[in-house]
Amino acid sequence: MKDTATDGSAADGTGSALGRRPTIYDIADRLNLNPSTVSRALSKPGRVNAATVDRIRAVAAEMGYRVNPLARALPTGMSGTFGIVLPDITNPVHFELIRAAEHVARANGFTIVISESAGSAQNEREIIEKLQASVDGLLVIASRLASEELRALADVKPIVGANHAAPELPSVSPDLRPGLEQAMNHLHQLGHKRVAYVGASSVQINTARWDILAELAAERGMSIVEITAAAPTVQAGADVLGRVRASGVTAVFAYNDLVAHGLLRAARAAGVPVPSAFSVVGFDDIFSAELAVPSLTTLRSPLGEIGQRAMDILIDPDANRVASNTVLPLQLVVRESTAPPPAG
Amino acid sequence: MKDTATDGSAADGTGSALGRRPTIYDIADRLNLNPSTVSRALSKPGRVNAATVDRIRAVAAEMGYRVNPLARALPTGMSGTFGIVLPDITNPVHFELIRAAEHVARANGFTIVISESAGSAQNEREIIEKLQASVDGLLVIASRLASEELRALADVKPIVGANHAAPELPSVSPDLRPGLEQAMNHLHQLGHKRVAYVGASSVQINTARWDILAELAAERGMSIVEITAAAPTVQAGADVLGRVRASGVTAVFAYNDLVAHGLLRAARAAGVPVPSAFSVVGFDDIFSAELAVPSLTTLRSPLGEIGQRAMDILIDPDANRVASNTVLPLQLVVRESTAPPPAG
DNA sequence: CTGTTAGCGCTTTCAT
DNA sequence: ATGAAAGCGCTAACAG
């Protein structure tokens, strides 16, 4: 039972058209080399005769060879893929972040897989566990999981948190306090005394914002109330206008620009003038913030840089070793949605 | 030291805590079974004694076993993953589409990997070729590649086109002509005679729109000119205001809502009133279309349904066999950015 | 520098 | 219904 070749190159000729993706065996056969030589030549040249490498490369190109990442991942345990887990892929807040992360990843030869948790902790857990088998690490955005749980999961494959502080693991997030301080000062200087925070859920990032805002308000002798929107969406923001008006506040911090947009839209529909009736400060500075009327005063978040830095950490094992919690500055962008409180 | 434990019960005993993900071998060992039996029990029960299946399931759960998708993919050639390739992940136009596709995929137990081509045909080609090794099929959105080339690539793994017609392969896209006809009629009825189309590049979808618009205009005795924006972005739309004004048209079709937004913003900045100076019709109805002032009249694209149907085709080999080019209706949403032309 | 030999974790004939 | 053995495509010692 001597049949040369693993499966016999096609018929006669050079064995060009095999009806499947060529493998390193096909290249090896063609050159009368051992597959392992081909493997080395292709992945770590330098450990192979230069001339041989050239011949192998040539044939590989000619046959249209492409390494099978799955097959490579099995023995090495490295897939060349990173996962991004986030609550909602349609939230514009994450676009810049994802794209920046994706860029860095691709520039380093990695692929990105994205999965949406729909904002459920249970989903998030399952996604992470499933993904861990096929990725080299995970970027978790705005996690719903407790920091300790993430840490435990990170024993399997590295995890870095993005856009939310995760004390127990490496993370990159905005520096909340100074940013919120700018915003609070802005409102204070305009003369506001009674403000509201329209939060969006009870996730870590939300309570962190509230805690800081409450402190800052107290320091300035301002009152602050929390009003909870059902979700971090335009609609949920619009739905909460009634409660904002009822509270009698003259300014509101919105959980993010989407919520702020909702508020603006509802106010406009109701004939309530912003900012003369009340001021609105958003969060993130998504692309549509300056499109709104009035355009949105908002805390710009360095989303792109967050994504980039987070991916850097994931890629570089050294940086990764340090459980560093990088924080990046927020910047207050003053536009039209804030003004002095109504005279009354 | 008997702590029941949820995951891999610690301590000694049954040899639970191996320092790695458990494999089917570990389960088999524990039960004195053959790995192949475990494999069958887990993937295709029914071919295994029900009681045995239960025992295996129990132990698997107890050990925290999760199948390794990579290892499974190697012998089967099926990875349980679909790829989505698109020009720009930050373009809101694609959010709904991606999310819907992602939903369908996950509901069927598949994972999605997303890769950005940055709008370059070369990148797109490379990404597709690379991805094909590790996915079961590809969803290509707004491709820059010629339809024939895509067809050739589809020999390796199924490809379906989304949001752009691809005559040579299955695709799901909006039904351009009736949609544009609604929009053109709207403008015609308002009294417009001279319109412009602000296109964004020379991709298939752009020229398709132009061709139809040109026809429709001619049929109605209207004049139409094409003005090309540098990219399908807000900025590029803003940059083109001068040329729109110079052309003397009273209404413009924008390539998409982003471009329309740019036009609106630039007009506002320049003190040119819309819609009294000229009307604007967008395309897609992205979430910010109704946030703008004036809110945008636009052709709503059934993005979610496109994503869903496209993924359905990818998942179902039967539907896939038919090289069906599904088209879905567009819907004109009339808002504030269109009005009768200026009296002059 | 290159060939040999295992083996990654799982599926899949082929036996039994 | 279960076991035995081979193999997916690639890498990784370990020889030579």
pLDDT truncated to tens, each residue of chain A (344 aa)? 333 333 333 333 344 567 788 999 999 999 999 999 999 999 998 889 999 999 999 999 999 999 999 999 999 999 999 999 998 888 888 888 999 999 999 889 898 888 888 878 988 998 899 899 899 999 999 898 988 999 999 988 999 999 888 888 899 999 999 999 999 999 999 999 999 999 987 777 899 999 999 999 999 999 999 999 999 999 999 999 999 999 999 999 999 999 999 999 999 999 999 999 999 999 999 988 988 889 999 999 999 999 999 999 999 867 655 558 899 999 999 999 999 999 86
CB pair distance less than 8 Å for B102 and A113 = no
pLDDT of residue A8: 36
3-state secondary structure chain A: CCCCCCCCCCCCCCCCCCCCCCCHHHHHHHHCCCHHHHHHHHHCCCCCCHHHHHHHHHHHHHHCCCCCHHHHHHHHCCCCEEEEEECCCCCHHHHHHHHHHHHHHHHCCCEEEEEECCCCHHHHHHHHHHHCCCCCEEEEECCCCCHHHHHHHCCCCCEEEECCCCCCCCEEEECHHHHHHHHHHHHHHHCCCEEEEEECCCCHHHHHHHHHHHHHHHHCCCEEEEEECCCCCHHHHHHCHHHHHHHCCCEEEECCHHHHHHHHHHHHHCCCCCCCCCEEEEEECCHHHHCECCCCEEEECCHHHHHHHHHHHHHCHHHHHCCCEEEECCEEECCCCCCCCCCC
Pairing of strands B297-300, B331-333: antiparallel
CA of A185 to C1' of D4 (A): 75
Show residues of chain A in contact with B67, CB under 8 Å.
133
Whole-angstrom Cα distance, residue B141 to residue B56?
43
For residues A19 and A34, is the Cβ–Cβ distance under 8 A?
Answer: no
Best B85, B93, B96, B113 residue to mutate vs chain A (most A CBs within 10 Å): B113
In 3D space, the residue among A262, A273, A263, A260 whose CA is nearest the CA of residue A299 turns out to be A260
Q: Nucleotides on strand D with an atom closer than 7 A to protein CB? A: 1-13
Mean pLDDT of chain B: 89
Interface of B with A in 111-170 (CB under 8 A): 111-116, 129-131, 133-134, 156
pLDDT of residue A10: 36
Q: What are the φ/ψ torsions at residue B299 (nearest 5 degrees)?
A: -90, 110
pLDDT of residue B325: 87
Measure CA of the first residue to CA of the last residue in chain B; give whole Å.
91
For residues A329 and A300, is the Cβ–Cβ distance under 8 A?
Answer: no
**Is it true that the peptide bond before A294 is cis, omega within 30 degrees of 0?**
yes
Interface membership of B231 toward A (CB under 8 Å):
no
Show residues of chain A in contact with B261, CB under 8 Å.
288, 291
pLDDT of residue A88: 85
Q: Nucleotides on strand C with an atom closer than 7 A to protein CB? A: 1-13
Please give the average per-residue pLDDT across B333-339, as a whole number: 97
Q: What are the φ/ψ torsions at residue B276 (nearest 5 degrees)?
A: -70, -35
Q: What are the φ/ψ torsions at residue B281 (nearest 5 degrees)?
A: -120, 125
- How many other C-beta atoms are found inside a 10 Å radius of the C-beta of residue A276? 13
Residue of B nearest to A96 (CA): B90
In 3D space, the residue among A27, A79, A39 whose CA is nearest the CA of residue B79 turns out to be A79
pLDDT of residue B319: 63
Task: Order the strands of the B223-228 sheet from edge to edge.
Answer: B223-228, B194-199, B251-254, B279-284, B297-300, B331-333
Measure CA of the first residue to CA of the last residue in chain A; give whole Å.
98
Q: Based on the number of CB atoms within 10 Å of its own CB, is A76 exposed (0-12), middle (13-18) or buried (19 or more)?
A: exposed
Which DSSP letter does residue B47 get?
A: S
Helix (H, G, I), strand (E, B) or coil at B344: coil
Please give the average per-residue pLDDT across B221-231, as a whole number: 96
Pairing of strands A194-199, A251-254: parallel
Whole-angstrom Cα distance, residue B163 to residue B166?
9
pLDDT of residue B45: 87
Domains of chain B: 1-63 (no CATH), 79-174+304-328 (3.40.50.2300), 176-301 (3.40.50.2300)
Q: Based on the number of CB atoms within 10 Å of its own CB, is A16 exposed (0-12), middle (13-18) or buried (19 or more)?
A: middle
A109 touches strand D (CB under 7 A): no
In 3D space, the residue among B300, B297, B258, B292 whose CA is nearest the CA of residue A268 turns out to be B292
A91 vs B149, higher pLDDT:
B149
Please give the average per-residue pLDDT across B21-39, as a whole number: 95
Q: How many CB pairs under 8 A join A and B?
A: 119
Whole-angstrom Cα distance, residue B258 to residue B280?
12
In 3D space, the residue among A38, A73, A82, A72 whose CA is nearest the CA of residue A57 turns out to be A38
For residues A150 and A168, is the Cβ–Cβ distance under 8 A?
Answer: yes
Is residue B109 pLDDT above 70, yes or no?
yes
For residues A165 and A325, is the Cβ–Cβ distance under 8 A?
Answer: yes
Q: Point out the least confidently predicted range of A158-172, A314-328, B48-62, B86-100.
A: A314-328
CB pair distance less than 8 Å for A116 and B102 = yes
- How many other C-beta atoms are found inside a 10 Å radius of the C-beta of residue A245? 15
CA distance B171 to chain A (A): 23
CA distance B291 to chain A (A): 6
Show residues of chain A in contact with B134, CB under 8 Å.
68-70, 111
Please give the average per-residue pLDDT across B62-89, as a whole number: 92
Whole-angstrom Cα distance, residue B177 to residue B184?
10
Interface of B with A in 88-107 (CB under 8 A): 88-90, 92, 95-96, 98-99, 102, 106
For residues A212 and A180, is the Cβ–Cβ distance under 8 A?
Answer: yes
CA of B73 to C1' of C14 (A): 22
Whole-angstrom Cα distance, residue A147 to residue B184?
55
In 3D space, the residue among B201, B56, B175 whose CA is nearest the CA of residue B120 turns out to be B201
For residues B298 and B335, is the Cβ–Cβ distance under 8 A?
Answer: yes
Which among A66, A114, A134 has CB closest to B114? Answer: A114
Is residue B15 pLDDT above 80, yes or no?
no
CA of B74 to C1' of D2 (A): 24
In 3D space, the residue among A11, A80, A86 whose CA is nearest the CA of residue A315 turns out to be A80
Is residue B187 pLDDT above 90, yes or no?
yes
Residue B13 pLDDT grade (very low, low, confident, very high; cuts 50, 70, 90):
very low
